[in-house]
Amino acid sequence: MKGKNPIITSIYTADPSAHVWQDGKIYIYASHDMDPPRGCDLMDRYHVFSSDDMVNWVDEGEILRSDDVPWGRPEGGFMWAPDCAYRNGTYYFYYPHPSGSDWNDTWKIGVATSDKPASGFVDRGYIEGLGGFAMIDPCVFMDDDGRAYMYYGGGGVCHGGELNDDMISVKGEMADMIGLEDFHEAAWTFKRDGVYYLTYADNLHDNNRMRYATSEHPLGPWTYRGIFLEPTGCSTTHGSVAEYKGQWYLFYHNQAISGMGNLRSVCIDELHFDADGAIRTVRQTEEGVRAVQADAAGEKAEKARAFYPADGCGTYGGAAIVAAEQGAFAVVGMAGASSGCEFREVGGGRGGRANLAVRYTTRERLAKVRLFVNGADDSLLNALQAEGGYTSLTVRLEPGAVNSVKLEGGHGDVRIEGLSVEWLD
């Protein structure tokens, strides 16, 4: 079985950082292009995605937003490319965020921690001494000897240095990474066969490529090796490299769904090496990668439950419930501004994270619905009919049948046929 690029279609995601953790799954920590787009300043609400076969990806839910950062820019937004590392039972989530309204001069590298890979993160402040003008895109590399290194940069500057054991402070001084040709941003480091690789985006105007360099030491000096990802059709390029179950992969983004460079989507393709360790040019595909053997699935704590328009659903703003095929009902009239429907008394199981899947039909390629859960805005969701008539997002629900799920239209003609809840916690 093969997947399809882009791999995440419910919301717009970019800047994927991929890691394999102790549970045997691979996780993607991505930035989130908020929709409708206002530009890079509106990026917010980090989500995490996981898989055990490289094809079926689970939205693990939102882990951090600008509202959770007390030291951050008062106006919020500007939650750009993140990364994550694991040490001694703790996951460390690193993200760039400005500390002031004058955003480009006040970048910091924030840190949030959790004892779980995709939930429970709490902001711990920022790394002292890092940041400043255009210094973004943190990457943390854990070497075989247990030492941790951070890389970050922008505006043509790339710095690297060793982290202390606390993972939130730098040992000594950060240093310039010497030997990188045409560095722009998006540093990423990995190790293969004893060789360190540093990949990054270059300065090709309005269509960055990915280049790389190698070294015998995690902090260089680096030997430039060439370009391995040509333009993706998107005005930015940002990627990561990971090995999973014996195969290497490149994680990157394009704008194939939206056609807009500020509404991007994560993709995956295979990464291959020559005998001398050189990275071959990545072949970008629409079909994506093949599934690998999935781990045995554990039992779910509770089963999923479906909710239909006839089950206590209210409508407003011109939307209405009409009879559909085989005795079912559907909500129509969702194309109007502020039109919508609300499912009440939605069960939340024992409370916590739940995958919420909205079932729909539409004839419009880029129609959307806005999701509200218990009054909180959980973002616009893509309604891409080609993806099978449903779109989903992981949200947080209260225990018991006390939850409210509201779907609001005004972003294309969407017909709502119901929703289902799968409790994850």
Identify whether residues 75 and 147 lie together within a single domain: yes
Stretch 188-194: mean pLDDT:
98
Contact in structure between 17 and 84 (CB atoms under 8 Å) = yes
Q: Tell me, what DSSP letter sits at residue 366?
A: T
> Distances from the Cα of 203 to the Cαs of 48, 156, 157, 236, in angstroms?
28, 8, 12, 10
Q: Is residue 191 part of a domain?
A: yes
Q: Is residue 316 part of a domain?
A: yes
pLDDT for res 301: 47
Q: Which residues pair with 392 in a beta bridge?
A: 357
pLDDT surpasses 80 at 297 = no
In this structure, the answer to whether residues 163 and 93 fall within a common structural domain is: yes
**Number of other CB atoms surrounding residue 322 within 10 Å:** 11
Task: Tell me if 367 is assigned to some domain.
Answer: yes
Compute CA 45 distance to the chain's CA centroid, rounded to the nearest angstrom. Answer: 9
Q: Is it the case that residue 296 has pLDDT exceeding 70?
A: no
What are 244's two structure tokens? 């999973």
CA separation, residue 164 to residues 37, 155, 172, 217, 233 (Å): 38, 26, 9, 18, 39
List the structure tokens of 17: 């950082």
The boundaries of the domain holding residue 341 are: 305-423
DSSP state, 304?
A: -
CATH label of the domain that carries residue 369: 2.60.120.260
Res 172 pLDDT > 90: yes
Query: Under 8 Å CB-to-CB from 16, ≥6 apart: which residues?
Result: 28, 29, 30, 238, 239, 240, 251, 252, 253, 266
The three-state secondary structure class of 175 is strand
What would the mean pLDDT of 394-418 be, rounded to a whole number? 95
| Lookup: tokens for 150 | 């951070």
Residues 329 and 248 reside in one and the same domain:
no
Within 8 A by CB and 6+ apart from 376, the residues are: none
CB atoms within 10 A of CB 195: 12
Residues 100 and 248 in one domain: yes
How much is the average pLDDT of 28-51?
91
Q: Could you tell me if residue 246 is inside a domain?
A: yes
Collapsing DSSP to helix, strand or coil, 40 comes out as helix
Q: What is the CATH number for 108? A: 2.115.10.20
- Single residue among 223, 243, 270 that ends a domain in this structure: 270
Q: At CA 132, angle to CA 129 and CA 137, rounded to 5? A: 90
**Predicted confidence band of residue 304 (pLDDT cuts 50, 70, 90):** confident
Please tell me whether residues 224 and 178 are part of one structural domain: yes
Cα separation, 350 vs 277, whole angstroms: 50
Residues 151, 254 within the same domain: yes
Between 324 and 284, the more confident residue is 284
- One domain, residues 252 and 331: no
**188 three-class SS:** strand
* Other residues' Cβ atoms within 10 Å of the Cβ of residue 280: 11
Mean pLDDT in residue range 69-94: 97
Indicate if 195 and 321 belong to the same structural domain.
no
Q: How far apart are CA 194 and CA 53, in angstroms?
A: 27
What H or E segment, with its residue span, contains residue 124?
strand 122-126
Q: Does residue 398 fall inside a structural domain?
A: yes
Mean pLDDT of the chain: 94
Report, as residue numbers or ranges, the catalytic residues. Answer: 35, 185
- Count: domains in the chain: 2
185 with 329, same domain: the answer is no
In a domain? residue 297: no
- Choose one of 221, 247, 270: the last residue of a domain: 270
Phi, psi of 199 (to 5 degrees): -105, 155
Q: What is the DSSP letter of 297?
A: P
- CA–CA separation, 158 vs 149, rounded Å? 13
Q: What is the pLDDT, as a whole number, of residue 300?
A: 47
Q: In this structure, are 314 and 171 located in the same domain? A: no
Dist. CA 232–CA 243, nearest whole Å: 22
Give the Å distances, CA to CA, from 220 to 83, 143, 271: 21, 14, 23
Q: Tell me, yes or no, whether 7 lies in a domain.
A: no
Q: What is the pLDDT of residues 228-252, one digit of tens each?
A: 999 999 999 999 999 999 999 999 9
**For residue 344, is it within any domain?**
yes
Q: What is the model's pTM?
A: 0.94
Determine the Cα–Cα distance for residues 334 and 152; give it in Å rounded to an integer.
44
pLDDT at res. 325: 74
335 and 223 part of one domain:
no
Same domain for 318 and 248? Answer: no
